[in-house]
Structures are given as C-alpha cells and as structure tokens.
Amino acid sequence: MRVVLAEDSVLLREGLVRLLEETGAEVCAAVGDGIELLAAVKEHVPDLLITDVRMPPSHRDEGLKAALEVRAQFPTVAILVLSQYVELSYASELLAGASAGAGLGYLLKDRVARFEDFEESIQRVATGATVIDPEVVSALLSNRAATDPLHTLSPRESQVLGLMAQGLTNGGIAKTLVISAGAVEKHISSIFVRLGLHQSADDHRRVLAVISFLQRRS
C-alpha cells in the first residue's frame, strides 16, 4: 500500500511514518501543508492519503479542503482524515463525498496511539470502507432533534448502528457486542425499517447508506 502523509507537526509526522512502515506501507511522501499535499498526491497518486484537518498557514481546515480536492480529482485515492477534536461540521463535509470514490475515514488523533485500532482502520479505508471514529459517531447520534427517527432506535440498535458506521462487518459487530450473527442481522433489519432505508446485501453500501443518512441529519 502506497501512502502520502500530511501532518504539520514534525514529531507526529515522523512517528506516523514509522507506524505506517511497521504495517508494511510504503510512505511515498510526508509533507507539512496543503499545497505540498496536493503536489505529492498528483506526483505519486497513492493508494491512501492520510492528512490532518488543520494545516498551515491558518491552521483551520486546509487539510480537509485539500482532502476534498483530492477526492474530486483522484476518486480512486482512499482518504483518512485525522483531527484533534470532534468537529461535526468537518466530519459532515467530508462524509458528503462518502458515496462515491474509494474508502474514506475520519479519526481522532488519540486513535493513533492505539496501534492495533489505527492499523485496522487504515486497512479498512484502504480496501474501500468508510470508517468513522466512535466518538464522532456518538456525537452524531446525540446531536439530534427529538423528532429524528434515530430516537426511535433501541439502545442496542444504536450500538449496532454506531459499529456499522465504524466500518465493522456483521461478524465484527457480533464479536464486539458478544451476540450471535443472527441477532446482528435482526437489529440491522430493524434499523433500516426505522430509518426508512432499503437493505442491501453489500455491507459497504449499507454502511454508506447509514453514514449518508447521518450526514444529511447532522
């Protein structure tokens, strides 16, 4: 897997390079701002772009804007965006492009410290999944009006929906919640009925449908 990394903190950037290399990834370029990010993607057309949301010079959303431009110009490049905090507006803007192109992820930087979780997220995004940080999912689920259909979900259905949004398969959800695969399937069927979403045999498409629903309501 070929990766372009964009992070303005030199120490974190070097640490991420080492982590990525330990996973077997080839870091084609490690840069420090949005302009260099775009230039590196155009030069290498990697399998995966990993970028911070906030980059020089304003340290606001330059990384996110660059990622959105990459999605528009290079739809086959998977994108994983890292953020220091839960920023729902940024997550929603990124998720607007989740239904087209390659894999997409939005993780908090704290997740990087949990190496196994980070490596698993990288692999999921690189293989086409949409992966959203659990804390972001929780914030999206809680940031609802009382009339929102999501409020009709049971506590267990909300857990299942959150795990789906993180990119877990039915088997992964069953293992995490310590329930049977059949129970997971029933919960997912109920979720789609409550939210008015059509079921699909394609897990990835189902995740994207749920993420799209969340994004429209956020």
Strand partners, 6: 31, 51
The CATH architecture one would assign to domain 2-133 is 3-Layer(aba) Sandwich (3.40)
Mean pLDDT, the chain, integer: 82
Percent of the chain topping pLDDT 70: 81
Phi, psi at residue 151, to the nearest 5°? -70, -10
Q: How far apart are CA 169 and CA 172, in angstroms?
A: 5
Residue pLDDT, tens place only, 26-64: 999 999 998 999 999 999 999 999 999 888 877 788 888
Domain ranges of the chain: 2-133, 144-217
Just give the CATH number of 144-217.
1.10.10.10
Strand partners, 5: 30, 50
